[in-house]
Structure 1
Amino acid sequence: MLKIDIGINENDRTNVAEGLKKLLADTYTLYLQTHNFHWNVTGPQFRELHLMFEEHYNELATAVDDIAERIRTLGVHAPGTYKAFAALSSIEEVEGVPPAEKMVELLTHGHEQVVKTARQVLKTAQDAADESTISLVSDRMRVHEKTAWMLRSTLRQ
């Protein structure tokens, strides 16, 4: 493979990619959790939540691909196993099938955690003057912040 010459030195590319690996792991874990809840949600809000979760996991599936491809663009291999994601993710897996309201709460916290992970990657990308990663991560933050707000809004006050 040819040497990568995109105006970001190798050390900075590696540091950004390591942060993106964590963002990828959080995003993939949240994707799996959302898909699981889509399949297993029950209760009076079934239809609304089932459809909302489907929208969310479809969006997350696209995001996973975008993040992994950015890691590859930086010249680093993207993680792609459950074991790797479990080691890198800040989002804990959920055992069993929680009630619908708990699902919404868990997903809200998951989206908020992805935002926090993204903020860490953003700082690294800014230090490296990596505008492409900054744009990707900033867009991801906006999506997760809005999704967390929408999920929170379905919960009883």
Structure 2
Amino acid sequence: MKTNILGLPVKETEIIISELNSLLSNYQVYYQNLRGIHWNIRGKRFFDLHVKFEELYNDSQLKIDMIAERVLTLGGTPLHTFEDYIKHNKIEVGKNISNDEKAVHLIVNSLSHLLILEREILNKAALVNDEGSNAMMSDFIAEQEKTIWMMQAWLEE
């Protein structure tokens, strides 16, 4: 079995790179959704949600950079055009959302989809001892599960 400089199998690593690029694309759309709802949110909960959405998009921006750097570490090239992001995106694009509940539902649905992608990467990375990708996905998953729980608690009021 041919391995790369990190000691990981080349063929399986190429698959992980591809899936990380798909995750990167979906994260970029999620990030832009967060920017949009941050800018457009209206209503009595404006102050709380405006701050929360900013917190989430700042966190997403960091994760986007981490994903791109992992792609590079594994020997790939991160996707970096809007064309690529749209081509690989599977999450809903939120356009002109100003309602608080619609905004929070968009976040929950987006995170649920990101979790699916992250678990796929986690499983494939574990099979080839790609601990770097595995640890990153594990951290993302734990944080996003908690965010979903908190958002659902908010929706139930």
Question: By how many angstroms is 1:4 displaced?
Answer: 4.5
Question: By how many angstroms is 1:93 displaced?
Answer: 1.0
Question: By how many angstroms is 1:150 displaced?
Answer: 1.4
Distance in 2 (CA, whole Å) between partners of 1:153 and 1:31 is 22
Question: By how many angstroms is 1:17 displaced?
Answer: 0.6
1:82-121 aligned within 5 A: 82-121=82-121
Question: By how many angstroms is 1:50 displaced?
Answer: 0.4
Distance in 1 (CA, whole Å) between partners of 2:92 and 2:100 is 18
Q: Taking every aligned residue pair, what percent have the same amino acid on both sides?
A: 29
- Do structure 1's residue 36 and structure 2's residue 36 form an aligned pair? yes
Compared CA separation, residues 26 and 146, structure 1 to 2 (3 A): same
* C-alpha RMSD of the superposition: 1.4
Structure 2, unaligned stretches of length 5 or more? none
Q: Where does residue 74 of structure 2 map in the other structure?
A: 74
- Do structure 1's residue 50 and structure 2's residue 46 form an aligned pair? no
Q: Deviations over 1:6-36 (max 9, x none)?
A: 1102112111111111111121111110111
Instruction: Tell me if structure 1 keeps the 8 A contact 2:26–2:90.
Output: yes
Question: By how many angstroms is 1:95 displaced?
Answer: 2.8
TM-score, scaled relative to structure 2: 0.93
Q: Deviations over 1:45-101 (max 9, x none)?
A: 111100100110000000000000000111111001111111112212123324111
Distance in 2 (CA, whole Å) between partners of 1:96 and 1:55 is 20
Structure 1, unaligned stretches of length 5 or more? none
Runs of 4+ with deviation above 3 angstroms: none
Amino acid paired to 1:143:
E
TM-score, scaled relative to structure 1: 0.93
